[in-house]
Amino acid sequence: MRNTARWAMTLGLTATAVCGPLSGAALADPGQAPAALYAPSALVLTVGHGESAADATPERAVTLTCFPAPSGTHPVAGSACAELRGVGGDIHALTAGGGAVCTKQYDPVVVTVDGVWQGKRVSYERVFSNDCVKNAHGSGVFSF
Protein backbone atom coordinates (compact mmCIF):
# COMPACT_ATOMS: atom_id res chain seq x y z
CA MET A 1 0.00 0.00 0.00
CA ARG A 2 2.88 2.32 0.84
CA ASN A 3 4.46 1.90 -2.63
CA THR A 4 1.07 2.50 -4.29
CA ALA A 5 0.66 5.85 -2.52
CA ARG A 6 4.20 6.91 -3.44
CA TRP A 7 3.61 5.80 -7.06
CA ALA A 8 0.35 7.78 -7.26
CA MET A 9 1.99 10.90 -5.81
CA THR A 10 4.95 10.61 -8.22
CA LEU A 11 2.63 10.11 -11.18
CA GLY A 12 0.53 13.13 -10.16
CA LEU A 13 3.57 15.41 -9.74
CA THR A 14 5.02 14.25 -13.07
CA ALA A 15 1.74 14.91 -14.87
CA THR A 16 1.53 18.37 -13.31
CA ALA A 17 5.13 19.17 -14.28
CA VAL A 18 4.70 17.96 -17.87
CA CYS A 19 1.13 19.07 -18.58
CA GLY A 20 0.82 21.92 -16.11
CA PRO A 21 -2.00 22.36 -13.66
CA LEU A 22 -5.55 22.29 -14.94
CA SER A 23 -6.22 26.01 -15.12
CA GLY A 24 -7.80 28.45 -17.54
CA ALA A 25 -4.93 27.96 -19.99
CA ALA A 26 -5.30 24.19 -19.94
CA LEU A 27 -9.06 24.41 -20.30
CA ALA A 28 -8.98 26.99 -23.12
CA ASP A 29 -10.75 26.52 -26.42
CA PRO A 30 -9.16 23.42 -28.01
CA GLY A 31 -9.49 25.02 -31.46
CA GLN A 32 -7.22 27.88 -30.40
CA ALA A 33 -3.52 27.33 -31.11
CA PRO A 34 -1.11 28.06 -28.25
CA ALA A 35 1.09 31.15 -28.63
CA ALA A 36 4.22 28.97 -28.68
CA LEU A 37 3.35 27.80 -32.20
CA TYR A 38 3.91 31.28 -33.63
CA ALA A 39 7.35 32.42 -34.74
CA PRO A 40 8.37 35.29 -32.46
CA SER A 41 7.87 38.86 -33.65
CA ALA A 42 9.14 41.26 -31.01
CA LEU A 43 10.85 44.56 -31.77
CA VAL A 44 12.42 47.44 -29.85
CA LEU A 45 12.12 50.80 -31.60
CA THR A 46 14.08 53.92 -30.62
CA VAL A 47 14.14 57.50 -31.85
CA GLY A 48 16.59 60.31 -31.19
CA HIS A 49 18.02 63.41 -32.82
CA GLY A 50 21.36 63.07 -34.61
CA GLU A 51 23.17 61.98 -37.73
CA SER A 52 23.41 58.29 -36.74
CA ALA A 53 22.41 55.90 -33.97
CA ALA A 54 25.99 56.00 -32.70
CA ASP A 55 25.79 59.80 -32.24
CA ALA A 56 22.18 60.11 -31.06
CA THR A 57 20.92 59.54 -27.56
CA PRO A 58 17.61 57.66 -27.70
CA GLU A 59 14.86 60.04 -26.62
CA ARG A 60 12.08 57.45 -26.73
CA ALA A 61 11.99 53.67 -26.92
CA VAL A 62 9.03 51.33 -27.29
CA THR A 63 8.44 47.62 -27.62
CA LEU A 64 6.23 46.05 -30.26
CA THR A 65 5.07 42.44 -30.32
CA CYS A 66 2.88 41.37 -33.24
CA PHE A 67 2.23 37.66 -32.79
CA PRO A 68 -0.05 36.17 -31.67
CA ALA A 69 -1.67 39.58 -31.05
CA PRO A 70 -0.39 43.19 -31.16
CA SER A 71 0.99 44.32 -27.81
CA GLY A 72 3.86 46.15 -26.16
CA THR A 73 4.43 49.76 -25.16
CA HIS A 74 3.98 51.06 -28.72
CA PRO A 75 1.02 53.50 -28.62
CA VAL A 76 -0.57 52.20 -31.85
CA ALA A 77 0.57 48.57 -31.79
CA GLY A 78 -2.36 47.32 -33.86
CA SER A 79 -1.79 49.61 -36.84
CA ALA A 80 2.01 49.27 -36.59
CA CYS A 81 1.72 45.47 -36.76
CA ALA A 82 -0.74 45.72 -39.66
CA GLU A 83 1.71 47.90 -41.60
CA LEU A 84 4.58 45.52 -40.92
CA ARG A 85 2.49 42.52 -41.99
CA GLY A 86 1.57 44.44 -45.16
CA VAL A 87 5.23 44.68 -46.16
CA GLY A 88 6.15 41.20 -44.92
CA GLY A 89 8.19 42.65 -42.05
CA ASP A 90 10.52 44.50 -44.44
CA ILE A 91 10.91 47.83 -42.64
CA HIS A 92 12.84 49.23 -45.63
CA ALA A 93 9.66 48.82 -47.70
CA LEU A 94 7.69 51.28 -45.56
CA THR A 95 7.08 54.35 -47.69
CA ALA A 96 5.83 57.86 -47.12
CA GLY A 97 2.09 58.14 -46.80
CA GLY A 98 0.31 60.34 -49.29
CA GLY A 99 -0.62 63.86 -48.34
CA ALA A 100 2.21 64.64 -45.93
CA VAL A 101 3.63 68.11 -46.55
CA CYS A 102 6.92 68.65 -44.74
CA THR A 103 9.31 71.57 -44.57
CA LYS A 104 12.87 71.25 -45.79
CA GLN A 105 14.22 72.07 -42.34
CA TYR A 106 17.21 69.88 -41.50
CA ASP A 107 16.94 68.56 -37.94
CA PRO A 108 18.03 64.91 -38.32
CA VAL A 109 16.07 62.21 -36.53
CA VAL A 110 17.38 58.66 -36.34
CA VAL A 111 15.12 55.65 -35.87
CA THR A 112 16.37 52.18 -34.97
CA VAL A 113 14.49 48.90 -34.92
CA ASP A 114 16.05 45.77 -33.45
CA GLY A 115 14.56 42.40 -32.65
CA VAL A 116 12.93 39.46 -34.37
CA TRP A 117 10.24 39.35 -37.07
CA GLN A 118 8.65 35.92 -37.58
CA GLY A 119 11.76 34.25 -36.21
CA LYS A 120 14.28 36.25 -38.31
CA ARG A 121 16.68 38.80 -36.84
CA VAL A 122 15.88 42.43 -37.71
CA SER A 123 18.21 45.41 -37.45
CA TYR A 124 17.25 48.74 -39.02
CA GLU A 125 18.58 52.26 -38.80
CA ARG A 126 17.41 55.25 -40.79
CA VAL A 127 18.06 58.97 -40.56
CA PHE A 128 15.18 61.25 -41.56
CA SER A 129 15.73 64.93 -42.29
CA ASN A 130 13.18 65.95 -39.62
CA ASP A 131 10.29 64.66 -37.47
CA CYS A 132 7.68 65.37 -40.15
CA VAL A 133 9.48 63.20 -42.72
CA LYS A 134 9.88 60.43 -40.10
CA ASN A 135 6.20 60.49 -39.24
CA ALA A 136 5.25 60.32 -42.92
CA HIS A 137 7.15 57.03 -43.38
CA GLY A 138 5.45 54.01 -41.87
CA SER A 139 3.02 56.30 -40.08
CA GLY A 140 1.89 53.63 -37.63
CA VAL A 141 5.27 52.01 -37.09
CA PHE A 142 7.22 55.20 -36.37
CA SER A 143 4.44 56.97 -34.43
CA PHE A 144 5.75 56.84 -30.91
Query: What pLDDT is attached to residue 24?
Result: 41
Buried-exposed string 102-140: b where 16+ CB fall within 10 A, e elsewhere = eeeeeebbbbbbebebeeeebebebbbebbebbbbbbbb
Res 34: pLDDT:
52
Domain ranges for the chain: 35-97+105-144
> Which residues pair with residue 116 across a beta bridge?
42, 121
Beta pairing, strands 60-65 & 109-117:
unpaired
Options 2.60.40.1840, 3.30.1960.10, 3.90.1200.10, 3.30.350.10; CATH of 35-97+105-144: 3.30.350.10
pLDDT given for residue 38 in this prediction: 65
The answer, yes or no, to whether residue 68 has pLDDT greater than 50, is yes
- Tell me: pLDDT of 75 over 90: yes
Task: Report the chain's mean pLDDT, rounded to a whole number.
Answer: 77
